[in-house]
């Protein structure tokens, strides 16, 4: 197959295999509708450390270590590690993965990290630069609240538009070898800024970026939305998802029958008091790793467009009255055995 590059989309010359995925989450995530699917549950939010930041690093470290084991490879077989998170200067990933002893590309795409990492990883493999790559993303409810909103100790009221940052980490091992589930295409997002300023309404800030990337992908590939069994955004939640459906419909694409959102899937809104839904780099990561990837492997679904979404603000930019640019990176993932079982 020839590599095709058009618009923002790359169709890989041969599908880039997914060798294994891993997920580790906190207590609250384990109590949600997907709780029984995650590889490991760590009930201690501090993960035995003295800070939430150190705990987040341990989540990232654990995700990579579990993924390494599940892949059947050893760390030395991975040509690159690519990772990102939400913390200042990406220390969740850096301190968690500093001992991997592998060539390392740090990325920053906020909660789109898993999409960016899988896209770059697939390009490095399809481009001939790597045999195996591991991509990782992490987030932590407590470190994210401290970083972006208010210290938890203040007991601030959470507005209905607010989302709940997922505590956990996911890793995905990509390979040149053939596997049942593989990445077939990637559409790299542009930054989109629709002048949203409310750091408690990430869904609204990210929906335009998700719409932009999904429409670009469908146009570039000339595929109807139904080509996919599911088009899965990262963490738009209830409010952002509604906006997304409106925005894509405006562009002539009705994705309502295939759209899913990891932020909606991970928590039970009523029972878990999570308002607009789950968010954070780990949200799309762990939901893909534990749920959608397994469904693809089983052949319960055969083609998905996985679209992690990120809100690209900092506490400082918000305090300085800036709007919130966003980005979404899409990865097409298919069961390459073909045919619905």
Residue 36 touches its own copies, criterion: CB under 8 A: no
Collapsing DSSP states into helix, strand and coil, what is residue 11? strand
Where in 240-299 is the site for its own copies (CB under 8 A)?
A: none
Question: Minimum CB separation from its own copies for residue 191, in Å?
Answer: 4
Where in 173-192 is the site for its own copies (CB under 8 A)?
A: 188-191
The answer to whether residues 311 and 168 touch, using CB atoms and an 8 Å cutoff, is no
C-beta closer to its own copies: residue 128 or 338: 128
Among 45, 105, 254, 295, binds its own copies (CB under 8 A): 105
Pairing outcome for strands 9-25 and 4-6 = antiparallel
Among 31, 75, 102, 242, binds its own copies (CB under 8 A): 102
Residue 5 touches its own copies, criterion: CB under 8 A: yes
Among 77, 95, 161, 294, binds its own copies (CB under 8 A): 95
C-beta closer to its own copies: residue 203 or 325: 325
- What is the enclosing helix (H) or strand (E) of 241? helix 237-250
Site string for its own copies, 109-148 (x = CB under 8 A): xx-----x---x--xx-xxxxx------------------
Q: State the Cα–Cα distance between residues 192 and 110, nearest whole angstrom.
A: 14
Q: How many residues does the chain have?
A: 341
Pairing outcome for strands 230-233 and 40-41 = unpaired
Residue 87 touches its own copies, criterion: CB under 8 A: yes
Q: What is each CA distance from 167 to 48, 60, 73, 142, in whole angstroms?
A: 15, 10, 26, 8
Question: Minimum CB separation from its own copies for residue 251, in Å?
Answer: 16
Q: What is each CA distance from 220 to 73, 213, 244, in whole angstroms?
A: 35, 10, 19
Report which of 276, 264, 254, 198 is spatially closest to residue 233, judged by C-alpha positions: 264
Question: Minimum CB separation from its own copies for residue 271, in Å?
Answer: 32
> What number of chain residues touch its own copies (CB under 8 A)?
58
């Amino acid at each position: 197959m020839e590599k095709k590059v058009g618009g923002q989309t790359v169709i890989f010359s041969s599908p880039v295999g997914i060798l294994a995925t891993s997920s580790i989450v906190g207590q609250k995530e384990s109590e949600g509708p997907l709780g029984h699917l995650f590889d490991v549950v760590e009930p201690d939010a501090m993960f035995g450390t003295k800070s939430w930041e150190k705990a987040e690093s341990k989540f990232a470290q654990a995700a990579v270590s579990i993924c390494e084991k599940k892949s059947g490879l050893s760390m030395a077989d991975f040509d690159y590690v690519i990772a990102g998170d939400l913390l200042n200067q990406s220390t969740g990933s850096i301190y968690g993965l500093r001992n991997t002893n592998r060539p390392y590309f740090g990325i920053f795409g906020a909660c789109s990290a898993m999409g960016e990492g899988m896209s770059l990883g697939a390009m490095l493999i399809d481009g001939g630069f790597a045999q195996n790559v591991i991509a990782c993303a992490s987030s932590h409810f407590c470190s994210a609240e401290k970083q972006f909103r208010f210290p938890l100790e203040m007991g601030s009221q959470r507005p209905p538009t607010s989302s709940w940052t997922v505590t956990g980490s996911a890793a995905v091992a990509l390979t040149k070898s053939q596997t049942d589930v593989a990445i077939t295409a990637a559409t790299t997002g542009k930054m989109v800024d629709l002048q949203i300023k409310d750091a408690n309404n990430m869904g609204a800030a990210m929906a335009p970026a998700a719409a932009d990337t999904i429409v670009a992908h469908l146009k570039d590939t000339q595929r109807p939305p139904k080509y996919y069994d599911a088009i899965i955004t990262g963490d738009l939640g209830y409010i952002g998802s509604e906006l997304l459906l409106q925005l894509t419909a405006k562009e002539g694409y009705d994705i309502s029958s295939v759209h899913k959102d990891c932020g909606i899937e991970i928590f039970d809104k009523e029972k878990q008091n999570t308002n607009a839904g789950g968010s954070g780099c780990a949200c799309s990561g762990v939901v893909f790793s534990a749920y959608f990837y397994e469904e693809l492997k089983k052949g319960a679904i055969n083609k998905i467009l996985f679209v992690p979404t990120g809100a690209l603000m900092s506490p400082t930019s918000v305090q300085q009255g800036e709007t919130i640019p966003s980005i979404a990176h899409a990865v097409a993932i298919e069961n390459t055995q073909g045919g619905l079982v």
